[in-house]
């Protein structure tokens, strides 16, 4: 059928029209081959703009459409829908980005107008060769996998489970709770972290729709949106969960102590242990690295004293396979290792601690029962808190960790509560108290007597048995003595975020955290359809923001479940099996694990539901056996030639 093309140039208010002469571009487009009508309009994405296209399609019998406006990531779906509603296949549409690629990158009106003409001409040449394509619908499995059971994973799991849908909640540690379980009180309201968290943990543990898998790792993910297959390794606890009563006798009787991960070294645990009193599940785990039976074949004290006969040294890891339609990643954050900033003396000097270590010290149910003690067993009379350790520092992490100012101020308050009369000095770069009730909390802490010093200390030294913080203020070198120094360390991406990203096919931003699909308009989706992110794995944030994001991820999943089916993009790669040599280079290159190898026929195949149409396989195929629907050589060459107006 002979192409009859309509071209529509958007002003985007003054975003485009402020730089590009849109009338001139429309006039130019009118003269291009195949163009039946060309118009400009204030906002093509508005209802009148959309109706203008629909009316033209009908009245002028258009069979192809070009819109020159913003980025296709914003409005390509809008205009494809407009075409479809007016009876034109949505793939017979092309978009020219004359905003981000043109008006926003130059102030020169003439140059911008010429470039806009070139981009429109390219889109018109390309749309000539577009083929109608059909999208497919696949059904959505209503089960959901959530990886990570900190407050983000817990919140998302409860939202989905309370709506009547099954959740598999996988946590790699022996208990759920994440970092929030380690905190004492939470800013700015100072409510006890455990008091607000543990009821939710218990609810998760007993929820009929939540299958909790703690001490477990996801090993393999295959499939696509609506239909993922996941292999999970349930590591052996060497304790039978069904028999264990959680009485704790095994822990008491175990003679071997090691540093507790939960207490970040401030306290110790046994070789058989429950990480903390309110752990869910309340079932211990034997740490085979430190258990005398596993190391030397001796002891078995835990087994001897276990009345429930729950100890099982023969227990093996178990592989569980589950089918789910959607996945939420909620793997949280790691903490910056301050040994790298050697001048602060962490690991070298006594009484220099990290913020999380301080949380455990100040916690009433922590190893010191909330008694803040120096190494010599006395209480500190003065404490220095150094903000931004590893954050807002181009040598480490350029970003702001968003919670350190507030938790440091919280420490100022808690110190006074626990050690009356203590002097607290906060060394800050900038104070960021942006949230609800934060500024008020800052004023409160200041009124209580905490002294704020605007400086990034150059070092911490020991002088005459006392710690001394060195800093510069008003061009003058100064020193502040302190008995205890707390380093407010940065929140950073988990050490294994790269591996987790590869496993689930999701990207990371330059700061190492998982990358959302769109920071403003799609902040919990990822580039892998059906996989969402929630909480600090996406970037540092406080508990209220984490909970809000977890709710948003749950809402995305629930909307997918209630739709029941999902549309699969038609612009996917196609392998010509007659040409494919079976070299599998494409399989290695595919970032979405969308290519499989057929052993029998010795050729590669594309799973269309997984393929995102990125084209990596097309470029990498040495035999030219792969083409990409909607990005054929013919279309791309025409687009390039069209630029040469
Ligand atoms: C010292 C300190 C004090 C703070 N104080 C406050 C405060 O007072 N108020 C406030 O609002 N915020 C505070 N925060 C921030 C708060 O800790 C976070 O907002 C919150 O914990 C984020 O929850 P999350 O679930 O995203 O991550 P996490 O709490 O990190 O939970 C992630 C969970 O995922 C698990 N996991 C990780 N990787 C995997 C994997 N591959 N497979 C399975 N499971 C995995 C982890 O074991 C963990 O259980 C503080 C932070 C710090 C460091």
Any atom of ligand 1 within 6 Å of the Cβ of 216: no
In the reported structure, the alpha carbon of residue 210 is separated from the centroid of ligand 1 by a whole-number distance in angstroms of: 20
In 3D, which of 83, 95, 73 has the Cα closest to residue 10?
95
pLDDT of residue 459: 98
In ligand 1, the atom with minimum distance to the C-alpha of 500 is 41
Give, using CA atoms, the residue closest to atom 38 of ligand 1. Answer: 331
Which one-letter DSSP state was computed for residue 402?
S
Ligand 1: does its nearest atom lie under 6 Å from the Cβ of 201?
Answer: no
Per-residue model confidence (pLDDT) at position 223: 85
Dist CA 259 CA 266 (whole Å) = 8
For ligand 1, the distance from its centroid to the CA atom of residue 535, given in whole angstroms, is 8
627 contacts 573 by C-beta, under 8 angstroms: yes
H-assigned helices in 6-46: 14-17, 22-30
Q: Is the Cβ atom of 152 under 6 angstroms away from ligand 1?
A: yes
- CA–centroid distance, 420 to ligand 1, in Å, is 30
State both tokens at 170: 């996988």
Give residue 593 CA to ligand 1 midpoint distance, Å: 29
Rounded distance between C-alpha atoms, residue 595 and residue 258, angstroms? 46
**Measured between alpha carbons, how far is 331 from 499 in angstroms, rounded to an integer?**
12
pLDDT tens digits along 436-491? 999 999 999 999 999 999 999 999 999 988 999 999 998 999 999 999 999 999 99
- pTM attached to this predicted model: 0.88
Ligand 1 neighbour 56 (Cβ under 6 A)? no
Residue with the two structure tokens 């007659």: 578
The verdict on the CB of residue 155 being under 6 Å from ligand 1 is: no
Burial of 18 (0-12, 13-18, 19+ CB in 10 A): middle
Residue nearest to atom 30 of ligand 1 (CA): 332
Give the C-alpha separation, 311 to 418, whole Å: 40
pLDDT tens by residue, 51-109? 999 999 999 999 999 999 999 988 999 999 999 999 999 999 999 999 999 999 999 99
H/E element holding 425? strand 423-428
Is 587 near ligand 1, meaning CB less than 6 Å away?
no
Q: Which of 104, 102, 105, 77 is nearest to 91 (CA)?
A: 77
Closest CA to 98 of 10, 7, 6, 5: 10
Best substitution site from 183, 387, 548 to test ligand 1's pocket, by max atoms within 8 Å of Cβ? 183
Rounded distance, CA 217 to CA 231, Å? Answer: 9
In this predicted structure, what is the pLDDT of residue 595? 93
Q: What pLDDT, on a 0 to 100 scale, did the predictor assign at position 606?
A: 95
Residue 205 alpha carbon to ligand 1 centre in Å: 19
* Nearest-CA residue for atom 26 of ligand 1: 535
Query: Each residue of 170-221: pLDDT tens digit?
Result: 999 999 999 999 999 999 999 999 999 999 999 999 999 999 999 999 999 9
CB-ligand 1 contact for 150 (6 Å cutoff): yes
Q: How many Å is the maximal CA-CA distance in the chain?
A: 91
The sign one gets for the Cα dihedral 140, 141, 142, 144 is negative
pLDDT tens-digit readout, 276-326: 999 999 999 999 999 999 999 999 999 999 999 999 999 999 999 999 999
Cα dihedral sign, 468-391-172-161: positive
The rounded Å distance from CA 592 to ligand 1 centre is: 28
CA 550/CA 215 separation, integer angstroms? 22
Structure tokens at 412: 């100022």
Pocket test for ligand 1, best of 146, 148, 231 (most atoms within 8 A of CB): 148
H/E stretch holding 193 = helix 193-206
Cβ of 545 closer than 6 Å to ligand 1, yes or no, is: no
Q: Find out whether the beta carbon of 331 lies less than 6 Å from any atom of ligand 1.
A: yes
Tell which one of 146, 149, 150 to mutate to probe ligand 1, the residue whose CB is within 8 A of the most ligand atoms: 150
Give CA–CA dist 39/488, Å, rounded. Answer: 58
Pairing state between β 382-389 and 484-489: parallel
List CB contacts of 439: < 8 A, sequence separation 6 or more: 433
Ligand 1 pocket check for 333: Cβ under 6 Å: yes
CA angle 143, 149, 155 (to 5 degrees): 70
With a cut of 80, say whether residue 645 has pLDDT above it.
no
529 touches 225 (CB < 8 A): yes
Residue 491 neighbours by CB under 8 Å, 6+ apart: 333, 334, 335, 336, 391, 401, 402, 403, 404, 536, 540
Ligand 1 centre and the CA of 31: distance in Å? 60
């Amino acid at each position: 059928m002979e192409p009859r093309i309509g071209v529509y140039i958007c002003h985007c208010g003054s975003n485009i029209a402020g730089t590009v002469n849109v009338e001139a571009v429309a006039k130019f487009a009118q003269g291009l081959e195949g163009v039946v009508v060309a118009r400009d309009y204030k906002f093509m994405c508005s209802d009148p703009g959309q109706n203008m296209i629909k009316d033209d399609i009908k009245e002028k019998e258009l069979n192809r459409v070009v819109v020159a406006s913003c980025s296709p990531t914003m409005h390509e779906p809008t205009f494809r829908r407009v075409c479809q509603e007016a009876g034109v296949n949505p793939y017979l549409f092309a978009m020219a980005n004359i905003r981000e690629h043109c008006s926003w990158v130059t102030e020169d009106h003439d140059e911008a107008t010429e470039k806009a003409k070139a981009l429109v001409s390219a889109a018109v040449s390309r749309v000539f060769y577009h083929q109608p394509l059909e999208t497919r619908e696949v059904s959505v499995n209503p089960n959901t996998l959530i990886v990570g059971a900190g407050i983000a994973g817990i919140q998302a799991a409860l939202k989905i489970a309370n709506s009547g849908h099954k959740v598999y909640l996988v946590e790699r540690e022996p208990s759920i709770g994440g970092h929030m379980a380690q905190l004492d009180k939470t800013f700015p309201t100072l409510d006890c972290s455990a008091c607000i968290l543990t009821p939710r943990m218990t609810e998760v543990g007993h929820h009929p729709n939540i299958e909790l898998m703690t001490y477990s790792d996801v090993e393999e993910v295959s499939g696509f949106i609506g239909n993922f297959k996941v292999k999970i390794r349930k590591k052996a606890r060497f304790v039978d969960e069904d028999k264990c009563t959680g009485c704790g006798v095994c822990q008491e009787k175990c003679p071997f102590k090691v540093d507790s991960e939960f207490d970040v070294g401030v306290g110790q645990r046994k070789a058989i242990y429950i990480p903390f009193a309110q752990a869910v599940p309340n079932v211990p785990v034997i740490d085979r690295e430190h258990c005398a039976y596993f190391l030397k074949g001796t002891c078995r004290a835990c087994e001897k004293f276990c009345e429930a006969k729950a100890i099982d040294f023969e227990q093996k890891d178990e592989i569980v396979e589950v089918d789910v339609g959607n996945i939420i990643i909620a793997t949280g954050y790691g903490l910056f290792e301050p040994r790298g900033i050697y001048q602060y003396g962490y690991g070298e000097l006594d009484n220099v601690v990290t913020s999380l270590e301080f949380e455990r010290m100040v916690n009433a149910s922590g190893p010191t029962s909330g008694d803040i003690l120096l190494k010599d067993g006395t209480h500190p009379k003065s404490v220095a808190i150094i903000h931004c350790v590893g954050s807002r520092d181009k040598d480490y992490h350029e970003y702001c960790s968003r919670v350190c100012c507030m938790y440091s101020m919280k420490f100022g308050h808690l110190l006074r509560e626990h050690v009356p009369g203590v002097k607290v000095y906060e060394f800050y770069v900038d104070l960021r108290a942006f949230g609800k009730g934060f500024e008020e909390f800052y004023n409160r802490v200041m009124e209580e007597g905490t002294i704020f010093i605007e400086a990034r200390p150059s070092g911490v030294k020991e002088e005459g048995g006392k710690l001394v913080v060195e800093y510069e203020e008003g061009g003058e070198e100064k020193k502040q003595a302190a008995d205890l120094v707390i380093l407010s360390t940065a929140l950073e991406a988990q050490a294994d975020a790269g591996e987790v990203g590869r496993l689930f096919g999701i990207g990371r931003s330059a700061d190492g955290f998982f990358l959302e699909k769109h920071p403003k308009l799609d902040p919990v989706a990822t580039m892998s359809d059906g996989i969402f992110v929630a909480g600090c794995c996406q970037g540092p944030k406080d508990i209220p923001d984490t909970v809000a994001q977890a709710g948003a991820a749950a809402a995305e999943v629930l909307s997918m479940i209630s739709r029941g089916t999902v549309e699969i993009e038609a612009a996917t790669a196609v392998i010509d099996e007659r040409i494919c040599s079976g070299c599998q280079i494409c399989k290695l290159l595919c970032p979405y694990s969308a290519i499989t190898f057929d052993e029998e026929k010795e050729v590669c195949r594309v799973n269309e539901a997984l393929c995102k149409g990125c084209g990596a396989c097309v470029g990498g195929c040495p035999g030219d056996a792969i083409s990409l629907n909607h990005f054929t050589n013919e279309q791309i060459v025409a687009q390039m030639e069209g630029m040469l107006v």
